[in-house]
Homo-oligomer: A and B are copies of this chain.
Amino acid sequence: MQCHPHSSFVGSEFDEEGNLKIIAGEFRKSEFCQQHSLLPRDLRTIDTNTFYQKPSILVRSKAILVNMGHIKALLKSDSVILLDTYGSSDSYNQSVFIDDLQERLKSHKEGLPFEFRALEAILIAVTSSLQSEIEVLEGPVNKLLSDLEDLADIEESVSGYRLRDLLQYSKKLSKFEQDALSIRDVLEELLDHDDDLAAMYLTAKKEKQPRASVDHEEAELLLEAYLKQTEEIASKASTLRSHMRSTEEIVQIILDVSRNSLMWYDIRLTILTLSATVVSGYGALFGMNLRNYFEGDPFAFGLVSGLALLSGCGVFAVSVRKLKTLAKMKG
């Protein structure tokens, strides 16, 4: 957590024309701070060694520090330093981002100053990455939810692994939503502070024409556009999560209804078993090796058997009627 003044980090520097000036160079933190008028505390924002980081955009006198998603960068009025974040330097997305960044730095398009062109490249990369992440999650989650709806029908083949998948996706979506909302919060907070928006015009400040605190339309429009995109993505994630919750709740009711159905059926079986047991009871008593005085009676077998079966049927009828009363009473 504490600041080590002599430590360093690895990064790449792009010049005014988008050319790579320094590739994977090592920057000493103390020099870095002095050079860009930063406080050691500011560096924590883009420090590659701290976990649990929330995204942030810090506007300082001569530089803008950006830490969003996998991109950590320092924007100046004439150069961009991109910090190497662990594990992401070789990825496809990273190279798409660098190409786009270089093109934008070169292009002078839309009349935007250098630092805003760099910022837009970063914002595009971040929102694209969020976009593809949610698209990757959306398919399997929807598949899983529709599988779960059919859950209660399939007899014993309901496998627990689907529910465990649900848990995994629920955690992932919750984390994703939180990430997207963090990025939205950063943009929103920046938009709420007129001073910071005006202070983002590094080129203007360098040319000794700093913007007044209310004069920051380009910055505002730029950030608003990506704020809106991030909100849309976050709300997609939130919708998915709410579908998850609804499905979970309904699945629980389906399981409950299922269980009650099974209990009704089980009770009917128990009634039948009881009836058969009653019949057996007669048989068992008259089967005792004891003198029952009907041994020779020619009609006894028929009578007792009949009585036994009648008793069985009687027990069955009474029980079933009782069961129906039970159902009606609750009505």
Contact = CB atoms under 8 A, between A and B. Distances in A.
Given A1-B128, A232-B52, A284-B287, A175 B239 contact: yes
Pick the most buried of A153, A160, A267, A280: most chain B CB atoms within 10 A of its CB.
Answer: A160
A151 B289 CA distance: 51
A265 B323 contact: yes
A266 B264 contact: no
A295 B289 contact: yes
Copies of this protein, total: 5
A284 B273 contact: no
**Most B-side CB within 10 Å, residue of A53, A151, A285:** A285
B285 A222 contact: no
A311 B199 CA distance: 88
A53 B152 CA distance: 35
A2 B287 CA distance: 88
A319 interface: yes
Contact of A152 (B160, B235, B247, B323): B160
Interface of A: 1-2, 39-41, 44, 52-54, 56, 110, 124, 127-128, 131, 149-153, 155-161, 163-164, 166-167, 170-171, 174-175, 178, 221-222, 225, 228-229, 231-233, 235-236, 239, 242-243, 246-267, 269-274, 276-298, 300-301, 304-305, 308, 312, 315, 319, 322-323, 326-331
